[in-house]
Structure formats: structure tokens, C-alpha cells
């Protein structure tokens, strides 16, 4: 869709925005769609929500969903991306070859200027006008709006623009709420500390978590202090494959903990991850995080759009908000690093400050549902309550088991069901009874290799083998791992399969670029070919074994996977007991 750079100048320069309409699957859908917008600012709406489509079925039973790519993000023209330059700079900083001064942005800014891009037009007001333009272009008379994170700030500007479009905006859902009048960045240490305290408190109140990880808060703070005195050195892997030793302080670890509180799934694992560091001195998770941090790929945050939206606001919001939060942990240093970094990059962007009207709340009376997660490290419940107090018809709820992205990342459908009911009739107070019984769920302690025991199981039809007692196959597909941490697989995983193949090499063909470990080794009652490959997944070593089945037409394959830094120990523990059984 082509829209004016400035909607007040309809005959002036234009930009293009990707628009996706997902048709309702209902027999009699409502005529007013739900427009859904991503956060960041700078995240791709079209790149995010289609991946959540299974969770949106109940909404699609009611109405269409419309995704409008925000100006400057990935599926718009221009795309204000600077990820390649930033990634190269981050690697140079990590290797000690450059200062962390934001200078990479100069090249991107020069390119945008050379294209004649008016960065000051990439703002909340024009972004909101794009939404109305898309709705009109698609032929809808009314629409509902859902915003996530920065999308909630945009949503408040969509509500402000409703005065120019009477009876067009029917209802609004704000998920993980950003207030338009609070100086957010200086509060990051307090907000992050509150989220971590809430997680620690939830763990202490959970019978399993408190038993597996007693006194976790005190032990974690002691670890942070120890690391601030004596940093831990981990080895990160650069995209080139080069290994890079990186010192990690307690403040560095605090930042990693904070950034991982965005995901409810990671929160579930975090007590066990911290316990592994505290009890075992195993910082492989930190090494993985550092490696991923140096592997930024295009398609993530559009930095030019992010800064064009953020820089005019930073430090100009009228409300400080410090009285909303308790003091931060002394180990927190997000603000110390973030504010100077933003200041340097905003100076390069050179975008004018926002006007006072940008910080004024909407006057339109639009029914609004506000959702907050109790463990949200960026948009805490106080923000939702604060914004609700500024709106005329607002229903604000905090879900105790949620973090960021409440509706789509919560472990239950409570928030989603509330949203569906609200969209059906925004004039009715949503039924929030499902919130009452919600409790966070934490993963159990991962059984370490030196405590592992094995037991025989029918792993797939017709095949019995010994597997670690602590492993489970929740989907019944022959894929076993410790359910306490199936993402990081700190003690590995094993997959059993029977494949039709003419040769043992064909049976192991999916392990590409492999090295032969054993050509015809007798283990237990069978003879195995064993190969190893690092090409299956970044940071993971796969070791596969195959043996002929009695029918002469099939092979049993046993595939083990392990993090590369602990693969030898995992294979030494798992391979022989499994194959010999």
C-alpha cells in the first residue's frame, strides 16, 4: 500500500507498506477486523504474527485479522535496517578492535540521507494515520486494534486519531503497555529488578521450585557479586566460527537475566539455569547467549525506525515515574549502559524532539482492555494501571503467570479468552475469573550427568532401549530429553527412528558433513556405524548410530544431540548404555 510520507501532504512524497489480510474462518464473521501491531519499535508486524496463527484461531472464528507493516520496518519501503553494520561493529567491539560508541550508525544515516528519507516523518502520528489508511483501503467501516509492547504506544496514538475518524475505531487491546508520558529508560534498572524479584518470589512460593532451588535469590545475588570481583571467562563463537574468550561480570549476567525474562518459556527454565551456574560453575548458557548476541541477522529490529520513534521522546516525557517502583538491585546496570548508548545514537540520528501534544492521552471514549504480565521486565503492571487511569473506559488486568506478550505467550488461554470475549462485546466488563487461579510454573532441576540412571522403555514401536530415567518423550515421537530444559538440552537429547534404507550410509544421510567415528563397532548385540556432525544446528554436535534391522530393509537409527561445549561428556555418558541395550 502506498501512503504519503506525511498524511497532511497527500500529494507529497510517498512510502510503501506491506499489508496482510488473514480472512476469517467463521461462517458469519463480523465486519470489523482486528488490526494487530508488533512492538520494538522497529519489529516486523508481518514477520511476527503469522508465526502465532494457531493461537489466533478463536479470533479468526470471529473476524478478519489485518497486519499493517509499520513504516520503516522489514516489509515496508524504505526498510530502515542497520543490522549488518551493527553486527560487524559488535564483533569488532567484542574482539577489542573498536570502541562501543555507536559509530556504525553513521554509515546507515548517511545512506538514508542520500536517499532523501525524511526520518522525522517516521513518528507515532504518521504511523497511526497509516493504520486508518489501510483500514479504509481494505473497505472496512470499523476496526478493532491490538498492540503489543510499542504497539500499545502506537495504539494510544490510534485512539487519539479517532477524533478525525468518528465511529471507525470500535475497541482497543493494549498488551504489555507502554505509557506515552513516562520517562521509561531511566527506570529500566528498577523495572528489571522488580521482574526478577517477582520471579524469585514465585519460585520460593512454588513447592517444587523452592525444593529444587532453595534460597535462589540470595545465592544468585552472591554469584553476581562474586563475578563483579572476579569475572567468569566464557568462549563465544563468532559467525565465522572463530572462538572468542569473553569476560562476564555480575552486571553482564544481570543484563542477560533481564533480557531472558521477556519469554515465559525462558522464565520457566531460569531457576535451573542459575542453579547450574551456582552449583556446578557451568556457564555454558552464558556462552550460548553471548554467541547468539554476536549473530544478529537482518530481519530483526529496524534500527532506523526504532531510533526515529524513540529519540524524539527520550528524556522529554513529563512524568518521571520513580515512585512507581522499589529501588533496583545494586547489581543492575542497564541504565548506566543504555542511556549513554541511546544518547550517542540519537545524536547521530539528529531528529527533532517530540512536541508536548505527543505526551497527552487520548480523549476519545474507546473501550480498552489492558493486559500486563507480573514478571514483565520491560512493561510492568504499573504501566498498565497508569495508562488505564488516563482512559475513559478501561479494563486493566495483571496475569501472575505471564511476562511480556501476555495474550500470545502466556502458558494458558486465560488472556486470549478474555480478549475474544471483549472483542465480541467491548461494552461488557470482561470475565476475569480465570486470572484468580493462575500460578507460574517452573521447570524442575535438570538431572546432571553424574547423577544419571537408566531404565528400559519402549522408545518407538517394536524397539526397547535404556534411556535416562530423567528423560521424557512428551510428544510420543521417539525424541527424548530432560523436560526440565528441553531448549538448551544441557544433558543432551536422543531420537530413535526406524528408516527404510538400502545401506547404513543412506540411513545416516541426514547427518551431513559427518565424520566417521566407528565403521562397524560391536556394542551390545548389534554392530553399529557411528558418525558425528556439527552441521545440523549451530552450537550443537550430533552423533548418529545405525544398525541393520532383522528384516534387511530397515535400519534403527539413534541420534544424539548435545551442546558443543559439553558434547564429549554427554556422548560418553549416553551412547554406550543406549546402544548396548
Per-residue cell: 329: 538491585
pLDDT in tens, 193-227: 999 999 999 999 999 999 999 999 999 999 999 99
Q: Single out the residue of 156, 154, 135, 157 nearest to residue 63, CA to CA.
A: 135
Task: Report the b/e string of 171-202 with b at 16+ CB within 10 A.
Answer: bbbbbbbbbbbbbbbbbbbbbbbbbbebbbeb
Residue 138 pLDDT grade (very low, low, confident, very high; cuts 50, 70, 90)? very high
Overall pTM surpassing 0.85 (yes/no): yes
Of residues 305, 299, 361, the one with CA closest to residue 123: 305
Nearest-angstrom CA–CA distance, 452 and 110: 57
Q: Is the confidence at residue 167, as pLDDT, over 90?
A: yes
Tell how far CA 99 is from the center of its chain. 28
pLDDT of residue 486: 86
pLDDT digits (tens, 9 = 90+) for 441-488: 999 988 989 999 999 999 999 999 999 999 999 999 999 999 988 888
The mean per-residue pLDDT over the stretch 15-44 comes to 97
Lowest mean pLDDT among 82-86, 183-187, 424-428, 484-488: 484-488
**What number is the average pLDDT over the span 153-177?**
98
Cβ atoms of 505 and 514 within 8 Å: the answer is no
DSSP track, 250-274: HHHHHHHHHHGGG-HHHHHHHHHHH
DSSP 396: E
How far apart are alpha carbons 107 and 85 in whole angstroms?
8
| Residue % of the chain over a pLDDT of 70 | 99
Q: For the chain, what is the mean pLDDT?
A: 95
User: Where residue 246 falls among pLDDT bands split at 50, 70, 90?
Assistant: very high
In the chain, what is the greatest distance between 2 CA atoms, to the nearest angstrom?
80
Question: Does position 560 have pLDDT exceeding 80, yes or no?
Answer: yes
pLDDT in tens, 501-524: 999 999 999 999 999 999 999 999
Q: Is the pLDDT of residue 580 over 80?
A: yes
How confident is the model over 299-326, as pLDDT tens digits?
Answer: 679 999 999 999 999 889 999 999 999 9
Span 394-412, pLDDT tens digits: 999 999 999 999 999 988 9
Residue 400 CA: distances (Å) to CA of 272, 371, 518: 20, 11, 52
Asked if pLDDT for residue 538 goes beyond 80, the answer is no
Residues paired with residue 22 on neighbouring β-strands, in sequence order: 65
For residue range 263-300, list pLDDT tens digits in order: 888 899 999 999 999 998 999 899 989 998 887 666 67
Amino acid at each position: 500500500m502506498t501512503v504519503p510520507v506525511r498524511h497532511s501532504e497527500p500529494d507529497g512524497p510517498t512510502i510503501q507498506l506491506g499489508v496482510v489480510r488473514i480472512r476469517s474462518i467463521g461462517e458469519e464473521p463480523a465486519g470489523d477486523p482486528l488490526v494487530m501491531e508488533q512492538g520494538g519499535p522497529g519489529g516486523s508486524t508481518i514477520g511476527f504474527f503469522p508465526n502465532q496463527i494457531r493461537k489466533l484461531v478463536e479470533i479468526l472464528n470471529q473476524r478478519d485479522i489485518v497486519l499493517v507493516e509499520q513504516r520503516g520496518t522489514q516489509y515496508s519501503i524504505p526498510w530502515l535496517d542497520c543490522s549488518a553494520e551493527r553486527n560487524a561493529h559488535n564483533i569488532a567491539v567484542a574482539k577489542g578492535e573498536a570502541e562501543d560508541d555507536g559509530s556504525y550508525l553513521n554509515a546507515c544515516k548517511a545512506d538514508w540521507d542520500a536517499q532523501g528519507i525524511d526520518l522525522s516523518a517516521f513518528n507515532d502520528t504518521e504511523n497511526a494515520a497509516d493504520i486508518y489508511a489501510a483500514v479504509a483501503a481494505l473497505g472496512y467501516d470499523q476496526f478493532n486494534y491490538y498492540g503489543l509492547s510499542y504497539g500499545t504506544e502506537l495504539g494510544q496514538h490510534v485512539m487519539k486519531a479517532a477524533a478525525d475518524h468518528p465511529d471507525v475505531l470500535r475497541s482497543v487491546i493494549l498488551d504489555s503497555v507502554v505509557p506515552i508520558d513516562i520517562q521509561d529508560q531511566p527506570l529500566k534498572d528498577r523495572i528489571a529488578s522488580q521482574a526478577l524479584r517477582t520471579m524469585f518470589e514465585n519460585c520460593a512460593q512454588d513447592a517444587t521450585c523452592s525444593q529444587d532451588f532453595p534460597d535462589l535469590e540470595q545465592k544468585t545475588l552472591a554469584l553476581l557479586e562474586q563475578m563483579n570481583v572476579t569475572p567468569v571467562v566464557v568462549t563465544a563463537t563468532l559467525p565465522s566460527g572463530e572462538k572468542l574468550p569473553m569476560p562476564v561480570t555480575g552486571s553482564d549476567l544481570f543484563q542477560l537475566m533481564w533480557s531472558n525474562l521477556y519469554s515465559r518459556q525462558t522464565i520457566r527454565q531460569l531457576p535451573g539455569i542459575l542453579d547450574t551456574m551456582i552449583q556446578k560453575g557451568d556457564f555454558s548458557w552464558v556462552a550460548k547467549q553471548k554467541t547468539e548476541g554476536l549473530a544478529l541477522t537482518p530481519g530483526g529490529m529496524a534500527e532506523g525506525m526504532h531510533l526515529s520513534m524513540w529519540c524524539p521522546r527520550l528524556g522529554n516525557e513529563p512524568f518521571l515515574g520513580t515512585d512507581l517502583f522499589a529501588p533496583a538491585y545494586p547489581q543492575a546496570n542497564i541504565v548506566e549502559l543504555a542511556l549513554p548508548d541511546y544518547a550517542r545514537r540519537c545524536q547521530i540520528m539528529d531528529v527533532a524532539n517530540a512536541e508536548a501534544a505527543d505526551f497527552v492521552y487520548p480523549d476519545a471514549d474507546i473501550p480498552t482492555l489492558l493486559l500486563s504480565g507480573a514478571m514483565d521486565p520491560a512493561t510492568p503492571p504499573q504501566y498498565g494501571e497508569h495508562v488505564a487511569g488516563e482512559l475513559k473506559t478501561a479494563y486493566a488486568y495483571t496475569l501472575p503467570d505471564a511476562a511480556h506478550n501476555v495474550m500470545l505467550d502466556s502458558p494458558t488461554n486465560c488472556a486470549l479468552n478474555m480478549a475474544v470475549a471483549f472483542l465480541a462485546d467491548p461494552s461488557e466488563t470482561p470475565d476475569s475469573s480465570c486470572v484468580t487461579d493462575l500460578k507460574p510454573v517452573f521447570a524442575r532441576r535438570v538431572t546432571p550427568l553424574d547423577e544419571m540412571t537408566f531404565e528400559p522403555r519402549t522408545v518407538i514401536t517394536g524397539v526397547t532401549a535404556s534411556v535416562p530415567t530423567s528423560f521424557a518423550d512428551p510428544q510420543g515421537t521417539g525424541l527424548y530429553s530432560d523436560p526440565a530444559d528441553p531448549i538448551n538440552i544441557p544433558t543432551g537429547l536422543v531420537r530413535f527412528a526406524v528408516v527404510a534404507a538400502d545401506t547404513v550410509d543412506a540411513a545416516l544421510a541426514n547427518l551431513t558433513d559427518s565424520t566417521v567415528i566407528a565403521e562397524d563397532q560391536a556394542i551390545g548385540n548389534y554392530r553399529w556405524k557411528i558418525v558425528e556432525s556439527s552441521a545440523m544446528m549451530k552450537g550443537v554436535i550430533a552423533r548418529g548410530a545405525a544398525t541393520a534391522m532383522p528384516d534387511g530393509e530397515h535400519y534403527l537409527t539413534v541420534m544424539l544431540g548435545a551442546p558443543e561445549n559439553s558434547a564429549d561428556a554427554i556422548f560418553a555418558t549416553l551412547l554406550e548404555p543406549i546402544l548396548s541395550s
